[in-house]
């Protein structure tokens, strides 16, 4: 099955150029993964599933001008979102060298002008407050909010890709938050919105 069929099945509408770049990313990741073990997604079909998982929130988020992805790994969701949102300035924070090498190569190969790869842990990233901070499978919500406190402000929104523990994690965060949890299959998308 082609990527466009996966996207159509979820109602994700993207232009052909973006779909072509996403397919190019999938081929690159599949090739690199056979040597460098970057992700558990072993087939192109499994990579397509991860692409759809990364893109699904485009249906309900406010599109940011700046986005930080914490612990991008093999590109999910940060690099995938960067491909789909060419007008958004995207910073990918990833400390592991082999993943950084892949992310930098993919960014160059796909001609992504809106991406900067930071080979460091998120607490070392220097930047003005981001419009949105995303993360998938890095750490718990409270710690993510703490780790990104220097590069966020009252306007920053958060998009965290979570599993079943999201409800427990929300309970651990003190203070009032405006948020939605959007459930899809085994995924819980935690979307913390600003109050403005």
**122 has binding-site annotation:** yes
The per-residue pLDDT for 196 is: 59
Q: What is the mean pLDDT of each run of 10 residues along the chain (196 residues)?
A: 94 96 98 94 96 97 97 97 98 97 98 98 96 92 94 96 93 86 94 82
The CATH number that applies at residue 35 is 3.40.50.150
DSSP annotation string for 3-15: HHHHHHHTT----
> Which residues in 116-140 are b (16+ Cβ under 10 Å) and which e?
bbbbeebeebeeeebbbbbbbebeb
CA atoms within a 13 Å half-sphere pointing along the CA-CB vector of 85: 26
Domain count, the chain: 1
Centroid of chain to Cα 111: 18
Torsion of CA 1, 110, 50, 128, to 10 degrees: -160
Domain that holds residue 122: 3-193
What are the start-end ranges of the H helices in 91-176? 97-109, 141-147, 166-172
- What's the confidence (pLDDT) of residue 179? 94
């Amino acid at each position: 099955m082609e990527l466009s069929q996966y996207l159509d099945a979820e109602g994700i509408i993207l232009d052909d150029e973006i779909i072509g770049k996403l397919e190019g990313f999938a081929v690159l990741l599949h090739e690199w993964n056979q040597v460098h073990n970057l992700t558990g997604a072993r087939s192109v079909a499994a990579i397509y599933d991860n692409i759809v998982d990364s893109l699904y929130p485009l249906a309900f988020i406010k599109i940011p001008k700046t986005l930080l992805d914490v612990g991008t790994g093999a590109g999910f969701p940060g690099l995938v979102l960067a491909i789909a949102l060419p007008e958004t300035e995207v910073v990918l924070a990833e400390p592991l060298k082999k993943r950084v090498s892949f992310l930098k190569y993919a960014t160059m190969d796909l001609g992504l002008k809106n991406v900067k790869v930071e080979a460091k842990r998120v607490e070392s990233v220097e930047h003005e407050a981001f419009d949105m901070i995303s993360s998938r499978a890095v750490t718990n919500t409270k710690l993510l909010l703490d780790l990104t406190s220097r590069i966020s402000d009252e306007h920053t929104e958060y998009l965290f890709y979570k599993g079943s523990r999201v409800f427990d994690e929300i309970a651990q965060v003190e203070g009032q938050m405006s948020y939605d949890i959007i459930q899809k299959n085994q995924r819980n998308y935690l979307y913390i919105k600003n109050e403005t």
